[in-house]
Amino acid sequence: MISYSIYQNDESSNEQLRILKILTGKFLPHISLFDIEHTFFSEVLPKAMTLFDELASKLCQQAGALSSQNSELQTVLRNAIQTQVQLLEVLMNIVQHMCTLEEALTLSSVHSLSLAVFHVLKNTFSHCKDSETLYSGHLHLVADLLQCLFKEAYSLQKGFMELLDRIVLESTDASGDDVACMVVVVHNILKICSVISKMDHALHANTWKFLIKISVKHRALIETKLPHDELITGLCEDILYSYNSCLQLAEQIHQSTGMGNANTTDCKLFQKTMKLCRFFANTLVHYVKEFIDFLSSSCHRLHHFYLQMYSKLPPSLYAPVLSDELYDQITSIVPVALDTLLSQLLSFRPFVERVLQINRDFSLELALPQCLLLINIIGKLSSQSCEIQSLWCSGSQFSEEKLRLPLVHVLFHNFHRCYAELSLPVQLPGVMSNGQALKNISLYEYVCTHLCSFITSLPASLFPDLEYALLDAVLNPHMLTALLAADAWCFLARYGSAELCAHHVSLIAQLVKSCSGECYQLSHLSLLLRRMFFLMAPNHQALFTDKFSPKDPSNLLLWRQVSVKALPADLQKPVTSDIISTAVDQCLKWQSSKHTLGELEQVNVALAALVAVCHADGEALNSELQLSITEVLGPMWSVLTVEQVLSQRCIQQTTTLLLSLISLLIRAVGPLLIVQVVLFLNSLLPLNPPDNVRIAALDFLGSLGKIIMPPDVQHTVLLKLPCLFASLLEDKSWLILQHALQGFTLFAEKTCHEEVVPQSLESGELKCRVVSFLNKVITTVESKELQVERLKQQNAILDVHFTHLNLCAVNDFVVEPSAKRARLEQFDEEYERALQAAENAFKTLQTLIKQGPAPEWIKARLQALHTTITALNNCRQ
């Protein structure tokens, strides 16, 4: 105790260190293991920690003032570091002494030693890590001693880990204190891991290796008390850091190789970092395997980690540009470890729940990795038990369960967020078949192939969930998602029985009939119905025509969607005749009535059915049927006005359908109707009607090339055509311009009135545009980098748009029986019509003002209108 008193009371660092050396060298070897903790370690080592902290504090406070001119401060700081080195040597001597003992070591006998060693190691490594900043550009003045300090700490940690490895905790004899001490040890090693993560690869790897080793070794006692979340987070962060380092080095190698001067140092460092990344990945896999039952709260981290790793690999748009050779080296490590990790987590319910949530916080960068993760899971489920398949595919069944959506539903949701990848498209490995060479395929084909393969392995009990997910996706506002669901549904129809196909077609037909008005749901369902109808057995098609007879006007909504060419030959003519007869009757009925807008919706359905029949048979229709159609076109067209087309959506649709019918039956249409339509378009098109009207007008103008104009109408028609074509070829909308080029080309290739062609191209710019189109010249060249950036920006905009549409669909579902659909009150409809008319009148004014100077009196009239609008607003309030 006299020695302890001297040690405690001495103020000098050197003197304290000297006495500490004497104590450890002379007294320590003679203390028994039983007494060593309470008589030596607990008394001496806290003072050693205090001494170390005082030295560290002195260094931190004065290091910033270090300079080569201040020799006195330089000496003081170097002496402080030297004292720290010697203090570490003392601790190392203690550890070596403990390793020489033959008795069985317990944690309680080295508790204070453990605290002291970890405290000193953590602070030493932190000091070395921050030294460049701490010493303000004068690091070279103390670099040699800091190197010695680091080496001594390295040796101390290695020796102490060997000492800890000798400790055995028996589940029968271990006390609560021993268990608590071991948990503290794990926490301390984890802290050191976080400090040294970017310092020394070997030290970092060995520290993690030991941490996992003792965790597994003493698993039975400490598994419930381990900081699993912190361990998983630490491993994931270290893997990501080494992984990103690999990618950065690979980029440097790729760039230098391209310039012909590859750096061998970078190559060696790349290989070394790859090995470290492989080690960490395997360590994570091992830890998850051992402690998976305790990782419920870590599933969100593991899931996000998986996505982050794949976001940096091809075909992700966020992956760096590297050579195939470099990527081959990276993919030989990362995907293998991640695949093993996924296999371990596949049956873990918390992980399933995490993956099957719709997480709107995920950035678009992670949309493709999430999609590929789901496809990977789909590929693994076929070999899993029915219980695991149900866990993934059926969604949550009870209110008390955590929300879990069906796997296919989540796949469709993430698929539509991959707009940029679907647009390029990115390339993924296809499926080898019939001995053909493996080739890359688009993301769409990749997902579709795996989804269809998954359907073949799905138990019958899970088919209702599949059908629900497919229908939900078909009703999705995103077209490609709906198309993917339709592809999968058609595969299901071919793979399943004929009865199943017929049953699905009947259900889809009922849904189509329940749609009220034009909406994207109707478009998607109609496309599916059209495709599925081709897959029906002939006897089931005959039953369909009986159940949904084309003689019933309410079924025209269906027959405008399907192709009569899908029917058996003996049914095609009677069904075609029935459709035309029913549709023409609907048009005649409207013509003989008061021409009300409320009834025009049914007329549009009838016209659409006629368009579908003419698309299927066209001019092959017998002359009697063609005549019955063309006879209603003139009276229908005669009631249209330019103002109505501009203001009423319903009449806009009527106009497009009439134009389509006239285009399809152009040889059967009389010249007077052609003149009527051309003059109408000459008045309508300058007023900028909606796109669908302009596109239908272009189809009509293009079809005029198929006929020879009678002499009595040539002057009227041929005089107007050049102006109509020229105005549409100058349109600013790329969609209209494309259709204009196609329509004009069709007319030019077939017309006998060749003088119209050069008259339409009097502008040199228009002539060049048409010539480039005919020669398939690409006028706009966009680099791959700019294209990717543009698609990323578009993706962000579309993601917000579709999210809004989905939220609206939840609040106001469009597909419902029309009889129950809420309708606008009569006054609301009148207000709507009045406002649309006013808006279109203002658009007409804007167009006129742009064409030339306005008269003086218009200013007063506009001011009067402004006063009227203000008064109306005040009345409303």
| pLDDT tens profile 819-864 | 333 333 444 556 666 676 676 677 667 766 766 677 766 776 676 6
Is 8's pLDDT higher than 60?
no
Highest mean pLDDT among 111-125, 130-144, 506-520: 111-125
Per-residue confidence band for 236, with pLDDT thresholds at 50, 70 and 90: very high
The pLDDT value recorded for residue 838 is 74
| Angstrom distance (rounded) from CA 117 to CA 114 | 5
Give every CB contact of residue 66 below 8 A, 6+ residues apart in sequence. Answer: 73, 74, 77, 135, 136, 138, 141, 142
Q: Is the pLDDT of residue 707 over 80?
A: yes
What value does the mean pLDDT of the chain take?
87
Q: How confident is the model at residue 816 (pLDDT cuts 50, 70, 90)?
A: very low
pLDDT for 4 beyond 50: no
467 — pLDDT class (breaks 50, 70, 90)? very high
Look at residue 823 in the predicted model and tell me its pLDDT: 37
Picking from 580, 668, 664, the residue whose alpha carbon sits closest to that of residue 614 is 664
What is the percent of the chain with per-residue pLDDT over 90, rounded to a whole number? 59
6-15, 548-557, 616-625: which has the highest mean pLDDT?
548-557
Per-residue pLDDT at 764: 84
CB 347 within 8 A of CB 295: no
pLDDT band at 331, cuts 50/70/90? Answer: confident
pLDDT of residue 847: 64
The pLDDT score that the predictor gives to residue 436 is 67
Q: What pLDDT score was predicted for residue 875?
A: 57
**Dmax of the chain from CA atoms?**
131
pLDDT at 5 over 50: no
Tokens 């539509």 map to which residue? 416
pLDDT of residue 119: 96
Position 594 scores a pLDDT of 75
pTM of the model: 0.83
- Show Cβ contacts of residue 662 under 8 Å, excluding neighbours closer than 6 positions: 633, 669, 673, 674, 677, 700, 703
Percent of the chain with pLDDT over 70: 90
Task: Give yes or no for residue 696 having a pLDDT over 80.
Answer: yes
- Residue 355: per-residue pLDDT: 95
For the cut 70, the answer to whether the pLDDT of residue 513 exceeds it is yes
Q: Which of the given ranges, 72-81, 358-367, 613-622, has the highest pLDDT on average?
A: 72-81
3-state SS assignment for residue 755? coil
* pLDDT band, very low/low/confident/very high, at 437 (cuts 50, 70, 90): low
Mean pLDDT of 7-24: 73
At residue 255, the pLDDT reads 85
Residue 556 above 80 pLDDT? yes
Instruction: Name the nearest CA neighbour of 493 among 448, 455, 538.
Output: 455
Angstrom distances, CA of residue 475 to CA of 99, 124, 406, 528, 796: 71, 62, 16, 11, 22
Mean pLDDT, residues 18-26 taken together = 88
Lowest mean pLDDT among 454-468, 631-645, 774-788: 774-788
What is the pLDDT, as a whole number, of residue 813? 43
